[in-house]
Structure 1
Amino acid sequence: MSRTARPRCRAALAALTCCVALGCGTGTVPQGGRPSPPPSVPRAAGPSVVTWASSAGHVGETAGGRGYRLMVRTSVGGSGLRVRLSNAFGDQPVTFANVHAGLRRDGAALVPGTNKRLTFDGARSVTVPAGGIVYSDPLPGRVPAGRTLAVSMYVPRAGGALTGHWLAMQTSYKTVGDHAAEESATHWKQRTGSWFYLDAVTVRPRERTGAVAALGDSITDGWHSTTDRDRRWPDFLARRLRESTGTRVEGVANAGIAANKVLFDGPGQSAMNRVQRDVLSLPGVRTVFLFQGVNDIKAEPGATGAGLIAGYRRLIDRAHAAGKCVVGATITPYKGWQEWDPAGEAVRRQVNAFIRDSGEFDAVADFDRVLRSPDDPERIRPAFDGGDHLHPDDQGMRAMADAVDLNSLDCGAG
């Protein structure tokens, strides 16, 4: 069920067209609460739009002399590809050298002739300070939509905390030494299920094309979907958008982090503390899709509906202030999960009533009604249950994406 965009959101979008297109921001509040500088934005000839993204966190320790070949899937096609490299959680500078982007053929092998070098202010290498983020220069040529892109890099100098995304649901590759320019898989034998340093890819698509960013937890991250098949619900949504002729939203950014919460830091920064970096700073994002809260309910003793609703309101206000519209998704059932209890279920129902009926979101996607069992609405429908009674399987992910009103993602577009 969708609602017409609020006048204030339309007005903000009209007034901030340039800022939305370029992904302007006011900086992030990291886990320690110390404001950090805003990430640099692409200096492109035309509006840039995010075609892929993941949310960064601290994923271990790093070392120099390593190579990474990271597989990501584009949502919207276009020219002038740029990659965003993040050292947001690092405590030491990181040097990136010999960064390339090409199309994957199979495994770690690339389509011959597609692996192109990326530069940074014309240089072949760049050193990113602790806490920093950098964009590459635009790459000549066009990148197709719905293709697996391989971003390869050599990191000659690094140490300390490693920035990346742990739960990729996608096989990428690591190596020792500099093999980023090679298109064969010969030196790329070590597999990994995480992404490192890379947290966004942007392109310049056709005029007035926008993107949606899904702010969420492990369900949005794709846990219990099939690895290497791009069956997270934002992936299914991206396919629907590519096939649609009724919307100019084509880019999809997945800002899900496993175990993430709206109000409290945990394995990653809370939604409140990461929304600027992971969502609002991304170029071309027109709409924020907020589907989060079950971890606050089930994992935080004393969590209340009033507290979670107050957090939603703050996120809505921040998104509206940045000229974005906000789609709210109801929290899905989780009875059978070890942390379920009647008190938490009561909070979930209270919060879902707010999402559906308050009118404070620009549109609503009722994922609860899509996934819940007709025999017991506190449980996931058995046909959609990934096995742990919390995370949907591939069919459930598709059903969620199919329930999104695509017109709601064009909220405020003129």
Structure 2
Amino acid sequence: MPTGAAAPPESAERASGVVTWAASADLVGEGTAGQDYRLIVHTSVGGTGLRVRVTNAFGDRPLTLDDVHAGLRGEGAALRHGSNRRLTFGGERTVTVPEGTAAWSDPLPGTWPAGTDLAVSLHTPDAAGPATGHWLAMQTSYTGPGDHTAEESGTNWTGTTGSWWYLDAVSVRPPRAGTGALAALGDSITDGRRSTPDSNHRWPDYLARRLAVSRAAVRGVADEGISGNKVLADGIGQSALNRLHRDVLSLPGVRTVLLFEGVNDLKSHTGVTARDLIAGYREIAHRVHAAGKCVVVATVGPFAGWPEWDPAAEAVRREVNRYLRNSRDFDAVTDLDRVLRDPHHVTRLRPTFDGGDHIHLNDKGMRALADAVDPGSLDCARRPGSGPAQPAPGGSGAIGPRH
């Protein structure tokens, strides 16, 4: 095994700056020895001192990466000339990440732009066993045998993958003091299912573009959606409760969490009640507030027409949404149910937003969802352990802040 820097505990390696891209960690398959990955991710906020977080959260043995580069994508797998730079970890080019942990790279000098495709290239000399990453990327990345991470050409990157492997966050130091980030905690709608691939048309992408031209101090956006994810129970990915720290609270610069999740709990037919879901939402809000961050909650959207819909699940959804609209457990609420539902058939999505299966959104629906989020509602000042905070002046959300 190559020698190099051993990854310290993540708490000792927390990146300074603000998260500019992230994806929730899960199992993506089996590791392949000698494999290259050129992973294409899209930044939200720009800045200096770029760092990446590599993850072995679900591995059953140490993960070694012996060559990691970052550069700006040109076209396909090719990079812009002169942009590809080697990343180090504790000053070493090789890093070994113990199972169940993650590691941040050292910062790269230079300025990295907002709203740009970044290519992070990894080489795994002896990878085997369960591999950690993000399965549904909605983005084409590239693979190849051998170590070609330093090359700017796309010639040797002959394979493709629709997943992100071993990478779950990127951070920068923004030029404007006080800049923060939003983490969108959700399921397949947040993950971007049914949006146009390779177009950055997930609703967090649309929101990031809005924030970039707003006056809000929140500029970074981390998309922490997992398709099939639930608030309460593990299944496709760990539950929102069980992954909250790793996927959200550990990210640098996160000021606000936008929680939009619950439909998978309702349609699973496991007897989940409104009381169960409300308890889960309250626990998330309590833990986010205890970490000194704000939490904006979104109502659960309609899904009649999906095969698992039934009147009992609809009754629970309505009871949960009544609680969310009126609860003082959160700093603000965005009523996405009212945005997404058909005004003539309120248990169903608007036909113009329907991605074809009556639960997921097309690009138009993704944009409408992002447009419903008031940037002002994402700016709030609080201290660790306090109750719901006072949002910044002008913040209202679709319903409004909690005063």
Matched, 1:74 2:43: yes
Q: CA RMSD in A?
A: 1.2
Cα distance, 1:38 vs. partner?
A: 4.7
Show the counterpart of 2:178.
208
Tell me the TM-score normalized by structure 2: 0.91
Superimposed CA distance per residue, residues 162-218 of structure 1 (whole angstroms, 9 cap, x where no aligned partner): 101000000001111100000011001101100000000000112110000000000
What secondary structure, in the 3-state scheme, does the structure 2 residue paired with 1:157 have?
Answer: coil
Show the counterpart of 1:187.
156
**Which structure is higher in RCO with an 8 Å CA cutoff and minimum separation 6?**
1
Match of 1:408 among 372, 377, 385: 377
Counting matched residue pairs gives: 375
Show the counterpart of 2:13.
41
Partners of 1:143 and 1:283 lie apart in 2 by 17
Superimposed CA distance per residue, residues 315-338 of structure 1 (whole angstroms, 9 cap, x where no aligned partner): 000000000100000000000000
Cα distance, 1:371 vs. partner?
A: 0.6
Match of 2:296 among 316, 324, 327: 327
What secondary structure, in the 3-state scheme, does the structure 2 residue paired with 1:353 have?
Answer: helix
Tell me the TM-score normalized by structure 1: 0.89
Superimposed CA distance per residue, residues 37-69 of structure 1 (whole angstroms, 9 cap, x where no aligned partner): 6554346xxx41000000011111112100000
Amino acid at match of 1:231: H
What secondary structure, in the 3-state scheme, does the structure 1 residue paired with 2:13 have?
Answer: coil
Show the counterpart of 1:232.
202
Matched, 1:162 2:131: yes
Which segments of structure 1 move beyond 4 Å, counting only runs of 4 or more? 37-40
Matched, 1:50 2:19: yes
Partners of 1:131 and 1:157 lie apart in 2 by 17
Match of 1:133 among 96, 99, 102: 102
Show the counterpart of 1:314.
283
The 8 Å contact of residues 10 and 103 in structure 2, kept in 1 or not, is answered as: no
Show the counterpart of 1:253.
222
Question: What are the residue-to-residue correspondences of 1:6-405 with 2, within 5 Å?
Answer: 38-42=10-14, 47-205=16-174, 206-244=176-214, 246-405=215-374
Cα distance, 1:300 vs. partner?
A: 3.8
What secondary structure, in the 3-state scheme, does the structure 1 residue paired with 2:246 have?
Answer: helix
Partners of 1:230 and 1:97 lie apart in 2 by 30
Show the counterpart of 2:389.
none
Q: Structure 1: state its 5+ residue gaps.
A: 1-36
Amino acid at match of 2:196: T
Partners of 1:40 and 1:256 lie apart in 2 by 26
Partners of 1:275 and 1:120 lie apart in 2 by 26
Q: Percent identity?
A: 64
The 8 Å contact of residues 40 and 135 in structure 1, kept in 2 or not, is answered as: no
Show the counterpart of 1:13.
none
The 8 Å contact of residues 40 and 134 in structure 1, kept in 2 or not, is answered as: no
The 8 Å contact of residues 287 and 325 in structure 1, kept in 2 or not, is answered as: yes
What secondary structure, in the 3-state scheme, does the structure 1 residue paired with 2:348 have?
Answer: coil
Cα distance, 1:358 vs. partner?
A: 1.3
Partners of 1:354 and 1:39 lie apart in 2 by 35
